[in-house]
Amino acid sequence: MVLSAVLVGLVLGLGVSSTAQAQGETGVKGTLKDQDDNLISEVEITVSDADGNEIATTASAEDGTWSVPLESPGTYLVALDESTLPNGLLVRNGRPQLEVEVRASERTVLFPLDTQLDPNAQPQETEAPGGSDSTGDGEEETTGAVEAEDEIDPEIESAAGPTRAVSLLFSGIHFGLMIALAAVGLSMVFGTTGLTNFSHGDLVTFGGVMALMFNIIVGLPVWAAVIGAVAAGALFGWLQDWGLWSRLRKRGTGLITMMIISIGVALLIRFATLFFVGGERRRYDEYVGQTPWDLGWLVITPKEVYTGLIAALVCSAVGLALVFTRLGKATRAVADNPSLASSTGIDVNRVIRLVWTIGGALAALAGVFLSVNDGVKFDMGQHLLLLVFAAVVLGGLGTAFGAFIGAMLIGIFVQMSTLVIAPELKYVGALAVLIIVMLTRPQGILGRRERIG
């Protein structure tokens, strides 16, 4: 009932907000200039809808500016035709096609241009590598799983290779940290209870929804909304164990039955969010548009750096707490042998409830950080869940440190794999890793072998 009331308030607030925003002018625009701030004219820009249907094609003016008006907000593809660039120029980060989320106002889209090794080189019939996935919004580059199909000189392509590899490596590290926040909590729950919790991904969605509510409806700044969302996630985790899981454990419910119940909990949270909030992607009122930091081979936004650093610090703090604090040692004892831990005076149920609380908080933080870049959508946690499971299995079931290592490896592997495969297939590689690990080393990297039978 509490969750339903909160979601009702959220949808009412978002409805009012969306109505108010619908009054503004909608479109995409930008200014093309190279690394020396020289304005670039007569470069073609094509805007298509989310299904790839072309809306309009325009060319940059003498002052480098271009703009395309749009009829309504939504998701659009903005593509720069690199064949129309002056000889020797190329999009530095290897992303000439971007997927952007346009709200009620005009959206600025930037393409960082740079002079390559041979400015006199003529384009040849050579296919460029596929595009990459990087999240962002507003004035920074925002791209989905799209491919660049422009013709690029081989020397220019070889120069763009290291740039794209560095960009993908940073993106993989950042994505791995987001996975780690959710994976550590999931692994701790499995370690202390043996439960494979399929609703953990929807706890990620819950965090993003709570932050959106605090930011848009209550009017809190995003940094305060993050704190509120993490607190709400911790409370939600505590309430889940108090109202459901602890009662099932007392009744002696089997793990398979509890796993099936967790699927039902996941569907309840997911479709309650869809019903009350809607299926559209929502964004916060702040940090939507940020000017990226141009570091040469790497173009990043401040929010990516800050969220990544905070995620790394939080994961480190959890690891230190597990090793050096009394509750952390009790948690590891319960994960190793609950019966032995109980015989030594450890309150096992209290430790498990603490783990559910921490897991809910970490999942909520992951949801907030992901939605800062990608926006909030009712199924965002569902898409992350399989990668979280892959990280936990790769690192070792039940070990928080293994979950962190597995998450980092999965995040980097997923992003870097787009150097050789189509971006649409990058998650398939992560799931292939999951299958291979289960066949060759089922205990994972830091897991322990267990006797079966």
Where does the pLDDT of residue 25 fall: very low under 50, low under 70, confident under 90, or very high at 90 and above? low
Give tens-digit pLDDT for 368-395: 999 988 888 898 998 899 899 999 988 8
Q: Pick 83 or 173 by higher pLDDT.
A: 173
Of 180, 84, 168, which Cα lies nearest the Cα of 134?
168
* pLDDT-based confidence at residue 298 (cuts at 50, 70, 90): confident
Q: Measure the CA–CA gap between 271 and 269, rounded to whole angstroms.
A: 6
Domain 168-440 belongs in CATH node 1.10.3470: yes
Q: Identify the CA nearest to 364 among candidates 298, 311, 443, 294.
A: 311
pTM of this structure = 0.68
Which of 83-87, 182-186, 288-292, 339-343 shows the lowest mean pLDDT across its residues? 288-292
Give residue 435's pLDDT. 84
Q: Domain coordinates of the chain in residue numbers?
A: 30-152, 168-440
Reported as a single tens digit per residue, the pLDDT across 126-153 is 333 333 343 334 333 343 333 333 333 4
Summarize the confidence of residues 413-423 as an average pLDDT: 83
* pLDDT exceeds cutoff 80 at 340: yes
| Mean pLDDT (the chain, rounded) | 80
d(CA 380, CA 359): 17
Domain 30-152: give its CATH superfamily: Immunoglobulins (2.60.40.10)
CA-CA distance, 194 to 447, in Å (whole number)? 14
CB 181 within 8 A of CB 312: no
CB atoms within 10 A of CB 447: 21
DSSP line for 160-213: HHHHHHHHHHHHHHHHHHHHHHHHHHHHHHHHHH----TTHHHHHHHHHHHHHI
Residue whose tokens read 């108090």:
242
Q: Give the three-class secondary structure for 450.
A: coil
- Across the range 193-219, mean pLDDT stands at 93
Distance CA 318, CA 407 (A): 15
| Spatial distance between the Cα atoms of 126 and 148, rounded to a whole number of angstroms | 11
The span from the CA of 53 to the CA of 41, in Å, is 25
Q: Which of 341, 316, 310, 337 is nearest to 326 (CA)?
A: 341
Question: CA-based Rg of the chain, rounded to a whole angstrom?
Answer: 24
Residue 190 dihedral angles phi and psi, to the nearest 5° = -65, -40
- Residue in 199, 190, 206, 185 with CA at minimum distance from that of residue 262: 199
In the predicted model, is pLDDT for residue 232 greater than 70? yes
- Which one is predicted more confidently, 287 or 134? 287
Q: How many CB atoms lie within 10 A of CB 166?
A: 16
The residue type of 396 is: G
Collect all residues with Cβ–Cβ distance below 8 Å to 319 and sequence separation of at least 6: 400, 401, 404
- pLDDT score of 333 more than 70: yes
Average pLDDT estimate for 334-346: 88
How far apart are alpha carbons 76 and 98 in whole angstroms?
Answer: 8
State the first-to-last Cα distance of the chain, in angstroms, to the nearest integer. 44
**Cα–Cα distance measured from residue 395 to residue 385, given in angstroms and rounded to the nearest whole number:** 15
What confidence tens digit (pLDDT) does each residue in 101-127 have? 787 677 888 888 876 544 343 333 333
Across 210-214, average pLDDT: 93
Q: What is the mean pLDDT of residues 400-408?
A: 92
Mean pLDDT over 295-315 rounds to 88
- Distance CA(146)–CA(22), nearest Å, equals 28
pLDDT at 19 over 50: no
Report the distance separating Cα 40 and Cα 391, nearest Å: 45
Q: How confident is the model at residue 450 (pLDDT cuts 50, 70, 90)?
A: low
Residue 311 pLDDT level (bands cut at 50, 70, 90): very high
Q: How confident is the model at residue 154 (pLDDT cuts 50, 70, 90)?
A: very low
**What are the strands of the beta sheet with 106-108, ordered from one edge?**
65-69, 27-31, 106-108
